[in-house]
Structure 1
Amino acid sequence: MSSDKSECDNQLRRDRELAELREWFKHNENLPQEIEPLLLRRFYQCMYCDAEETKKLIEVNYALRNKHPHLFIKRDPLDADSRRTFDYADILPLPGLTPENYKVSLYCFRDFEASKMHHTEDTRAFFMVADCRFITLDDIARPEILSDGEVQIFDMKGTTMRHISRLTISTLRAYIKFLQLAFPVRLKAIHMVNCPSYLDRIVSIVKPFISDEVFKLIRFHTTSIDTLYGFVPRAMLPQEYGGAAGSLSTLREQTQKVLAANRDYLMDPRHWQVDKPEKRNGKSWKLFN
């Protein structure tokens, strides 16, 4: 009985603090006009239900968004730039959660021609998919459960030095900084699969632009994709990766439907744009483990 009462008390406290955070958000001129309730819950859970730390994370998130509007605000999931990205690459949240309660996303090329890579536009597409996921339930069968962390899988099949030469350093820095300081979930692991024989050359080029905290989370799978199964259940992976989550084409179609359905949300400045940006003095922190 006491444990039931404790859980009830915790739920009442969470509900009260989330309501207070909504009011704080609404009246904070350093923030946009609106925030989706599920996204607010993610910020709150990410900071272990600490309301004050949640406020700091939210302010950093929108400060970085407004510092890089070409990545986070000026966007359209159905425009020509987005279509080019989704025609040559897959950016796919995978269904379900790991036993550790982590959400998994997969990124891979469908077309290996390096000239089709446009790093800034591709990064913008990545964040559109992420922003849609953050207002979508992680597990339909358990709507009350939110993920406790993020696992990313990058398939390096077809990656050449020509691809690496097309990286935009400013975009890479903004991407890493946002993951490290502003993501509404905690980054737990990055898995690189189908690594090429010249992996060392690629790492030597990009490592100076990746923070030590992020680099420590990267695991390179150099021999076989089988080593990935020790970290991500096969049931969550696409058929093409030995899993049971459906084909890449099915997952791609589902993701595109979600993007189209949320186009107005992604393009609505009321959810993203700060009308009166102020100087922020909040401390920085790292969202890992």
Structure 2
Amino acid sequence: MKFDAAAEAEIDELNEWFQQNPKLPKEIDRILLKRFYRCMYGDIKGAKKLIKINYSMRNKHSHIFLERDPTDADSKQTFDYADLIPLPGLTPEGYKVSCYRLVDFDPAKVNHTADTKAFFMVSDCRFNTYDGFASDEENVETFANGDVQIFDMNGYTLKHLSRMTFSTLRIYMAFLQEALPVHLKAIHIINCPPYLDKVVSIMKPFISSEVFKLIRFHTVSLDSLYEHVPRSILPEEYGGTGGKIADLKAILLSELAHKRDYLMDPSHWKIEADKENAERRRWLFK
């Protein structure tokens, strides 16, 4: 979808609605607003519904989505023991690929709620920027047509699974499936452990049938992954030419630090009681 003058006018309309809605925060980044609009294929009503679901869930679970700092001790521990990396470029289908893996296998490092908080900070950091360049128009930035996730299970043990918090898992899966302004296209599980059946039995109750169909388990080698994700996208650690994970992670951490104020600014995320009360007074004395 190209944002021509007509689409930009609809974004203006959507932005005005957002700012005047007492059950939404005061501000929203324009690129993020475009994501909601584009995710619903230009359907204004659909975009409004998705926006309301997104911010309602954020404020219902403030301990994950509002009370956050990408540079605090909990976040640092997450980023020290795990990689949560959006990979550069887009697949031939125009998909954005992200990779998640452990770099420290100590189960004691797992803080499921803090890790989930970090995951969504990485997503929010990415969502107010474009994903790449349009294939048909050089140097014209655009959005991905969908998201692909790669989960590397190397190093995961049953002890890691035992440290999962089911309430946090429920929030994570619900937000992922119902509130994100992206279309999930595939989930690739690589380096699958022998106890894969136990992992599936734990996760399946929280996953919709539609999303479960998107999961691909790569149990033998990465050759089957290459059929879906080109090597040009993948990091060198996975046989690709997309750079080293350490370098990509350094870029990500720098971007998170740069956007710290944005990620922590309540005017972008929190539904303030005074805004709702002011709107009620406006209608009362109108």
Q: Give the alignment's TM-score, normalised by structure 1.
A: 0.90
Q: Which residue of 1 is the match for residue 93 of structure 2?
A: 100
The whole-number CA distance in structure 1 between the counterparts of 2:214 and 2:95 is 14
The whole-number CA distance in structure 1 between the counterparts of 2:78 and 2:50 is 29
Q: Pick from 15, 26, 34: which aligns with 2:19?
A: 26
Q: Pick from 244, 247, 251: which aligns with 1:247?
A: 244
1:68 partner letter: H
- Matched residue pairs, number? 271
In structure 1, stretches of 5+ residues that fail to align are: 1-6, 279-289
The whole-number CA distance in structure 1 between the counterparts of 2:69 and 2:181 is 22
2:151 partner letter: F
1:130 partner letter: S
- Report the 3-state secondary structure (helix = DSSP H, G, I; strand = E; otherwise coil) of the residue aligned with 2:216: strand
Say whether 1:132 aligns with 2:129: no
Measured after TM superposition, the shift of residue 210 of structure 1 is: 2.3
Match runs of 1:1-289 below 5 Å: 11-139=4-132, 142-276=139-273
Measured after TM superposition, the shift of residue 166 of structure 1 is: 0.8
* 8 Å CA contact 1:105, 1:153 repeated in 2: yes
Measured after TM superposition, the shift of residue 217 of structure 1 is: 1.2
Q: Which residue of 2 is the match for residue 286 of structure 1?
A: none
The whole-number CA distance in structure 1 between the counterparts of 2:43 and 2:37 is 7
State the Cα RMSD in Å: 1.6
Measured after TM superposition, the shift of residue 142 of structure 1 is: 4.0
The whole-number CA distance in structure 1 between the counterparts of 2:247 and 2:159 is 30
The whole-number CA distance in structure 2 between the counterparts of 1:145 and 1:79 is 32
* 8 Å CA contact 1:38, 1:134 repeated in 2: yes
* 8 Å CA contact 1:176, 1:211 repeated in 2: no
213-222 or 120-129, which deviates more = 213-222
1:199 partner letter: L
Per-residue CA deviation, residues 55-94 of structure 1 (Å, 9 max, x unaligned), is 1100100000001111111100000000000000000000
1:105 partner letter: S
